[in-house]
């Protein structure tokens, strides 16, 4: 209670009394013109006060009267039309009733207006508007608050501000007071959509007058609406006296301000150079218990920037850091953009660089990079499309022999990455390393990925070497990115060189499948000697080949018709599986099939039968048809008698194969 008393006293201290009531009876020419553009073609003709009396008399003398039976028929038709969603017929019945100065009963009237409001097209919105105005003028007790709110919400969705304000004025003029909480914030919303809050101010003032003078508490604007009025006077109209009147009104209504309220006022006072008022405002914030000054400082800076007071901007930024012990980041992205634009428009590039240098001295070493002043300002430059200015600020900081933190470098690196300027990014990382700073693994990963995407493989390798030299522990992400990228770009020779370079680094977990990727790529490209060389290197470093290794080699050799090489592979595998050393080898159907097909093609039937024997021993199903076809394609004219003269063993192997494959029949 004591706090509220202090609030009342201090809030009124520098303000005037509430402005006198300005009635809504008249409309400006602009309002009328906008409203007519909304209503054309008119549904109910709008009449000014001056024109209304005489035509009304003549109309009354010519007004048709409806019998009770006719009224009942029209209302029944209206009700049925609404039930069947026959909008035009319902409107026709309503017009017939209202032309004879008859309003349908309350449920029908509200149902019609709600139905018209829900259709979301301009014509029916006009009908709903005209209907509500007619009923308010005729008998407002027939309207429910919910119906009016529905119409206003539809107007908000349709972004039709002028009719919404016209409806509110009509309600006030006829003393039809719908609780402010049902429509106030919606009216603020539709005003914002129209691009200005100025039109809302008159409604705000009238609501305040009604709430105070007529003691209708339900017409009292809430805090959000009071802040909207403050925002308009402070940021749009830049009027100190009017803003202070709003403050006085809030005090009378008992609406307690929040951080945004103080923010709007601090912006205005900074813009006008009212330093004493800023001091009073800050003291009042403390008395209200607002310890977080984020909004206050952001608003101050915005006001100083707009007024061109660059020195005050620097003072405020550094003061905020001192008060937060360099730990609290309180500036928004919007504020950083305003600071950048303000300094650059005033040709104060050197001052901006100096501000970052001084801010870095006050910031805690534990502060996260993306929460530093340098990061915010450089990011703002880039987001504003002023990347060249970001470089200039960095150069100016170096020229001033100032310490350049990672917060300045990181946004530039991100911009390089996004634009795939990987060579420049790599050079900048060298500069960062030379200055004793170190990037985290995430930043390296991002740059490596950008390098691989733009096929700048040398930059990717350089970045990875720098990661290793910087003793970064997590190398897995960039390692996989490089290997995958080289694989996709069919560069097995670079994969082999890269793997050979990093294979002994304990931070990188090189596995057999990495070697398999290289061997597969070489075989696919027909570079079998390179595949063999990689295979030998792999086994020399004690990486055990697995079934995938052999499958890639077999397929490569078959494509090149090097069947003897397949025989050598079989002899190697045979020794392993015969000695019970099947490390990593899954001697499954795929491997059996690959060996049988290649060995049949090569005519090594002794080896073929060895594979068959092993497959039978391991109960692996074999489809003989494929090997019959291979034999017929390659060895159709091969005679057993010829083999008998050359080699008895080969003859036996051929007979055994033909018997197994069912070729003797």
Residue 341 lies in a domain: no
Average pLDDT over residues 525-537: 91
Give the model's pLDDT for residue 255. Answer: 93
Residue 204 lies in a domain: yes
Helix ranges restricted to H, 419-562 = 422-434, 441-453, 457-469, 476-488, 492-502, 512-524, 528-540, 547-559
Does residue 407 have a pLDDT over 50? Answer: yes
Average pLDDT over residues 336-347: 93
Quote the number of domains for the chain. 1
Average pLDDT over residues 17-43: 42
C-alpha dist (Å) from residue 600 to 473, 526, 565: 50, 22, 13
Q: Which letter, b or e, does each residue of 448-463 get, where b requires 16 or more Cβ atoms within 10 Å of its Cβ?
A: bbbbbebebbebbbbb
**Can you tell me the distance from the alpha carbon of 498 to that of 448, in angstroms, rounded to the nearest whole number?**
14
CB atoms within 10 A of CB 13: 13
**Can you tell me the distance from the alpha carbon of 423 to that of 473, in angstroms, rounded to the nearest whole number?**
24
Whether cis (ω within 30° of 0) applies to the bond prior to 555 is no
Give the model's pLDDT for residue 612. Answer: 85
Average pLDDT over residues 498-513: 89
- How many angstroms separate the most distant Cα atoms in the chain? 133
CB atoms within 10 A of CB 656: 16
Beta strands per DSSP E along 143-261: none
At 444, is the pLDDT very low, low, confident or very high (cuts 50, 70, 90)?
confident
Does residue 3 have a pLDDT over 70? Answer: no
Structural domain harbouring 86: 1-11+67-220
| Cβ proximity of 445 and 472 under 8 Å | no
| Cβ proximity of 264 and 223 under 8 Å | no
Residue 47 lies in a domain: no
Residue 148 lies in a domain: yes
Give pLDDT tens digits for 619-634: 887 777 777 777 777 6
Give the model's pLDDT for residue 634. Answer: 67
Average pLDDT over residues 473-486: 91
Residue 248 lies in a domain: no
Give pLDDT tens digits for 535-573: 999 989 888 888 888 899 989 988 888 889 888 988 888
Alpha carbons within 13 A on the beta-carbon side of 275: 3
Residue 98 lies in a domain: yes
Cα–Cα nearest to 549, from 586, 590, 516, 589: 516
Average pLDDT, the chain: 83
Give the model's pLDDT for residue 40. Answer: 45
Give the model's pLDDT for residue 26. Answer: 39
Kindly report the CATH number assigned to the domain that includes residue 188: 1.25.40
**Can you tell me the distance from the alpha carbon of 128 to that of 147, in angstroms, rounded to the nearest whole number?**
10
Give the model's pLDDT for residue 570. Answer: 87
**Can you tell me the distance from the alpha carbon of 36 to that of 133, in angstroms, rounded to the nearest whole number?**
14
CB atoms within 10 A of CB 125: 23
* Residue length of the chain: 665
Which of 129-133, 178-182, 250-254, 590-594 is predicted with the least confidence, judged by mean pLDDT?
A: 590-594
Q: For tokens 């009770």, what's the residue?
A: 68
Q: For tokens 């068959």, what's the residue?
A: 612
Does residue 206 have a pLDDT over 60? Answer: yes
Residue 164 lies in a domain: yes
Average pLDDT over residues 54-76: 64
**Can you tell me the distance from the alpha carbon of 148 to that of 150, in angstroms, rounded to the nearest whole number?**
5
- pLDDT top residue among 541 and 10: 541
- pLDDT top residue among 40 and 569: 569
Cα–Cα nearest to 422, from 375, 378, 466, 364: 466
| pLDDT more than 70, % of the chain | 85
C-alpha dist (Å) from residue 528 to 33, 108, 460, 572, 649: 84, 87, 27, 18, 31
Residue 89 lies in a domain: yes
Does residue 38 have a pLDDT over 50? Answer: no
- pLDDT top residue among 486 and 621: 486
**How wide is the angle at C-alpha 117 spanned by C-alphas 77 and 42, nearest 5°?**
80
- pLDDT top residue among 419 and 219: 219
Backbone φ/ψ region at 367: left (φ over 0), alpha (ψ -120 to 50), beta: beta
Residue 43 is given by DSSP the state S
Average pLDDT over residues 628-645: 63
Which of 68-72, 145-149, 467-471 is predicted with the least confidence, judged by mean pLDDT?
A: 68-72
Give the model's pLDDT for residue 174. Answer: 93
Which of 199-213, 388-402, 525-539, 634-648 is predicted with the least confidence, judged by mean pLDDT?
A: 634-648
At 520, is the pLDDT very low, low, confident or very high (cuts 50, 70, 90)?
very high
CB atoms within 10 A of CB 218: 12
């Amino acid at each position: 209670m004591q706090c509220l008393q202090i609030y009342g006293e201090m809030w009124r201290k520098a303000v005037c009394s509430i402005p006198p009531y300005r009635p809504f009876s008249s409309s400006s020419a602009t309002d009328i013109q906008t409203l007519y553009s909304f209503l054309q073609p008119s549904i109910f003709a709008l009449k000014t006060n001056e024109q209304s009396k005489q035509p009304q008399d003549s109309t009354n003398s010519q007004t048709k009267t409806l019998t009770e039976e006719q009224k009942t028929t029209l209302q029944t038709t209206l009700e049925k039309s609404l039930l069947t969603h026959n909008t035009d017929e319902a409107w026709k019945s309503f017009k017939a009733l209202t032309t004879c100065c008859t309003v349908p009963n309350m449920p029908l009237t509200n149902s019609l207006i709600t139905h018209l409001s829900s259709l979301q097209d301009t014509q029916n919105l006009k009908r709903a508007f005209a209907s509500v105005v007619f009923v308010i003028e005729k008998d407002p007790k027939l309207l429910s608050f919910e119906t009016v709110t529905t119409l206003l919400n539809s107007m908000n969705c349709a972004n039709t501000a002028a009719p919404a304000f016209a409806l509110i004025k009509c309600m006030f003029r006829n003393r039809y007071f719908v609780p402010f909480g049902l429509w106030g914030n919606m009216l603020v919303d539709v005003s914002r959509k129209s691009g200005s809050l100025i039109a809302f101010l008159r409604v705000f003032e009238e609501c305040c007058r009604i709430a105070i003078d007529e003691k209708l508490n339900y017409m009292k604007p809430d805090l959000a609406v009071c802040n909207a009025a403050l925002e308009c006077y402070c940021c749009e109209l830049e009027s100190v006296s009017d803003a202070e009147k709003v403050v006085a009104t809030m005090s009378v209504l008992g609406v307690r301000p929040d951080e945004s309220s103080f923010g709007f006022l601090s912006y205005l006072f900074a813009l006008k150079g009212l330093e004493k008022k800023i001091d009073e405002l800050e003291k009042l914030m403390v008395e209200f218990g607002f310890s977080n000054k984020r909004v206050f400082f952001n608003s101050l800076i915005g006001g100083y920037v707009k007024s061109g007071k660059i020195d005050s901007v620097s003072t405020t930024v550094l003061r905020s850091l001192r008060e937060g012990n360099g730990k609290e980041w309180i500036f928004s992205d919007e504020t950083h953009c305003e600071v950048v634009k303000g300094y650059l428009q005033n040709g104060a590039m050197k001052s901006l660089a100096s501000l970052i240098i001084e801010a870095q001295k006050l910031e805690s070493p534990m502060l996260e990079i993306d929460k530093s002043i340098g990061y915010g300002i450089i990011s703002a430059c880039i987001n504003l499309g002023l990347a060249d200015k970001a470089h200039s600020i960095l150069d100016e900081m170096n020229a001033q022999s100032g310490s350049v933190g990672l917060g300045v470098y990181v946004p530039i690196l991100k911009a390089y990455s996004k634009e795939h300027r990987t060579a420049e990014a790599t050079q900048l990382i060298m500069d960062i390393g030379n200055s004793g700073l170190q990037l985290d693994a995430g930043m390296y990963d991002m740059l490596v990925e950008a390098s691989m995407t733009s096929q700048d493989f040398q930059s990717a390798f350089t970045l990875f070497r720098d990661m290793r030299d910087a003793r970064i522990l997590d190398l897995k992400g960039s390692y996989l990115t490089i290997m995958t990228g080289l694989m996709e770009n069919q560069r097995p020779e670079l994969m082999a060189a890269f793997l050979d370079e990093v294979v002994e680094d304990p931070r990188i977990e090189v596995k057999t499948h990495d070697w398999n990727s290289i061997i597969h790529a070489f075989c696919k490209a027909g570079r079998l000697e390179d595949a063999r060389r990689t295979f030998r290197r792999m086994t020399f470093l004690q990486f055990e080949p697995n079934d995938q290794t052999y499958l890639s080699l077999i397929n490569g050799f078959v494509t090149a018709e090097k069947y003897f090489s397949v025989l050598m592979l079989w002899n190697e595998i045979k020794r392993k599986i015969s000695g019970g050393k099947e490390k990593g080898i899954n001697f499954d159907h795929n491997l059996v099939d690959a060996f049988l097909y290649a060995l049949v093609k090569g005519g090594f039937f002794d080896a073929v039968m060895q594979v068959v024997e092993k497959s039978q021993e391991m109960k692996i199903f074999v489809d003989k048809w494929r090997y019959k076809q291979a034999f017929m394609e390659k060895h159709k004219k091969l005679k057993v008698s010829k083999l008998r003269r050359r080699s008895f063993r080969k003859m036996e192997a051929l007979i055994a194969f033909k018997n197994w494959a069912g070729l003797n029949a």
